[in-house]
Structure 1
């Protein structure tokens, strides 16, 4: 298989409503993670590490920050003559507005772009999961099985299976049945929302459906059932590595805290599978003589003059004298005022916590949204 045979399409238009104030001014894939990354960095980096260098990113909800972060793909080495990353947004033509109404519909609306790339296989990815995965192995299995569709699955605890789309398979891993969040699941093979299609077959299915008003808007609800009913060769690809859906405050907080375990499965320090991101060109971190930092990640541009324990300080975070931070995620540009206490919390981008203010999320993870100012007295920092 040649790299030019595969086009990756990253679905990055989700609102991420369960993340509340952290996504009020940006799409979920653009939410910061792990001190120096954004969620979408993991999917793009997986593509690059898998040898896939032709990528489309489908955006819709408040895309400005995400567009700026991705840029021309330079940070991932995707700005060369034989590589590219294209940001694809809704548009208006002589048929009216062309908003994306579902995952499959967003692909249908970008048929012209996909055709121009000349790829044989279409790799559909979500831009809002934290994981490492070699897509090349999945693509090779797809080819070996002579499949028209391959769905990545991972086994989840049986008691949690009713929360997922479940793929029931035979001994050859061919999918024989699909259940969307079944009350009594037959297996625990949960769909990861990662698909490989033969492009021409999917193109024919989508154009036929939309031309006859039998609209296939969503992959899970419409396309997969259609393929199974049409007796297509649909297979499951079993994945067993680290994968997290960080779509809730608790899951986002937990995934960040997992990074503080030196033996965490994600292992950001693995040089054989790097996670790339846009360089913010921040100043070096400064930890003063008054500061105490334990069991924490402190990245570029941080100023620490207080106590930090089991926490993540993102780019350009500022922790002022006497402040105490425990079990928390401080996102880029946030300011923690003198004497403030932050416990079991997520403090959003460029938020500011005033002097001696207490944010305690011991009972439930506390969240301060992007750009919020809590307990800040006007002019107290001037």
Structure 2
């Protein structure tokens, strides 16, 4: 079945990621020592045979656009189809920022109208998972659904951060609560939707003139009893870094688990990213790096354990880094102690500094370019 993809990558997640999204979109956040968050959705699209994908950006999009400058890494460098990056429309008559998820697609309606594919797969750009969208499309067709919403059972998690589905025995939606305080089920929407292209165009043309701009509130919830909307259960690894600092920290630390790391890095189909030409990591005499993943170009003289280290990081003699995330270009001076922390790019600690967070749930976070 032919489909096009739309990746919603425009938000800063309402400040839930703090200083980490002061200068970048959530979809551009570094993951697992070498990836960006959007790499996972882009790879899923390509690996599912979807060759035409639009990325809708808005907030602090420079870093994201730089990452997407060449589409060949995800196999979108082709004559037919390809990767399209859209921002809010600006003209002499004025400009309008995206007023919601539905409005972001409506403002790029030409992309839908100039496509010939029957279906549209709509996803977010800040979730970490591996999925074959072809299975969702097959399910969508089998159910003769108007809209399919991908969900996951999340027993034991804080469901107030998600949209919660209520379904009948056939998985047809009977209710949808957006971030409820007292959820009626544990079926959480993953923000992945399948809909026919023509139906999406018709619905957008109906709701936007009425001042309605949300995919969830103004399409799924509003038409839940008039359209055939079904849930598709996904039971693989999934995490949304946009729900907060703790989720971002947890997702990166999950890459220290061999089964999860192998799932994304060593098992086909692979997650691809824009490569960087750096030398291998260097471990000098006295370096002690355990239970960690490290990026290229890093140099170690000190101790690192249970941490995620990105490229071109330097850890000095006598320094100790534990249970932390060090993004590109960080410099840790001699005899420093770093624990339960997230360092954005190019953080520099002079000799003897100590940065210790409360826990994995409440890590210390230093913004880009901090010098202590």
TM-score by length of 1: 0.92
8 A Cα contact 1:206 1:216, kept in partner: no
For residues 319-334 of structure 1, the aligned pairs below 5 Å read 319-334=315-330
Q: Which residue matches 1:243?
A: 238
Q: Which residue matches 2:119?
A: 121
C-alpha displacement at 1:95, in angstroms? 5.2
Identify if the C-alpha distance between structure 1 residues 183 and 18 changes in structure 2 by more than 3 Å, giving closer, same or farther: closer
Equivalent of 1:8 in 2, 5, 9? 5
- Bigger mean CA offset, 323-332 vs 160-169: 160-169
List per-residue Cα deviations over 1:88-108 (Å, max 9, x = no partner): 001223653131010011011
Q: Which residue matches 1:90?
A: 88
- Bigger mean CA offset, 63-72 vs 14-23: 14-23
List per-residue Cα deviations over 1:225-274 (Å, max 9, x = no partner): 22214x11111111111111112111111111121122337723333121
> What's the secondary structure of 2:342's corresponding residue?
strand
For residues 51-200 of structure 1, the aligned pairs below 5 Å read 51-93=49-91, 96-157=94-155, 160-200=158-198
C-alpha displacement at 1:40, in angstroms? 0.7
Identify if the C-alpha distance between structure 1 residues 159 and 253 changes in structure 2 by more than 3 Å, giving closer, same or farther: closer
Q: Which residue matches 1:223?
A: 219
Structure 1 runs not aligned, ≥5 long: 375-382
> What's the secondary structure of 2:121's corresponding residue?
strand
8 A Cα contact 1:162 1:182, kept in partner: yes
Q: Distance in 1 between matches of 2:261 and 2:289?
A: 24
Q: Distance in 1 between matches of 2:358 and 2:290?
A: 19
C-alpha displacement at 1:23, in angstroms? 1.2
> What's the secondary structure of 2:263's corresponding residue?
coil
Residue 294 (structure 1) aligned with residue 290 (structure 2): yes
Equivalent of 1:344 in 336, 340, 346? 340
8 A Cα contact 1:12 1:128, kept in partner: yes
8 A Cα contact 1:149 1:233, kept in partner: yes
- Bigger mean CA offset, 281-290 vs 173-182: 173-182
Q: Distance in 1 between matches of 2:169 and 2:354?
A: 56
- Bigger mean CA offset, 83-92 vs 256-265: 256-265
8 A Cα contact 1:242 1:265, kept in partner: no
> What's the secondary structure of 2:43's corresponding residue?
helix
Identify if the C-alpha distance between structure 1 residues 209 and 258 changes in structure 2 by more than 3 Å, giving closer, same or farther: closer
- Count of aligned pairs: 368
Residue 309 (structure 1) aligned with residue 305 (structure 2): yes
List per-residue Cα deviations over 1:270-326 (Å, max 9, x = no partner): 331211111111122111112011111122111111111111111111112221111
Equivalent of 2:267 in 254, 271, 289? 271
Q: Distance in 2 between matches of 1:158 and 1:187?
A: 11
List per-residue Cα deviations over 1:201-243 (Å, max 9, x = no partner): 12112112233xx2221112211122214x1111111111111
Q: Which residue matches 1:380?
A: none
Q: Distance in 1 between matches of 2:141 and 2:93?
A: 37
TM-score by length of 2: 0.95
Q: Which residue matches 1:378?
A: none
Q: Distance in 2 between matches of 1:33 and 1:162?
A: 24
Q: Distance in 1 between matches of 2:327 and 2:150?
A: 31
- Bigger mean CA offset, 162-171 vs 144-153: 162-171
C-alpha displacement at 1:57, in angstroms? 0.2
> What's the secondary structure of 1:251's corresponding residue?
helix
> What's the secondary structure of 1:152's corresponding residue?
strand
C-alpha displacement at 1:80, in angstroms? 1.7
> What's the secondary structure of 1:190's corresponding residue?
strand
C-alpha displacement at 1:54, in angstroms? 0.8
Identify if the C-alpha distance between structure 1 residues 171 and 265 changes in structure 2 by more than 3 Å, giving closer, same or farther: farther
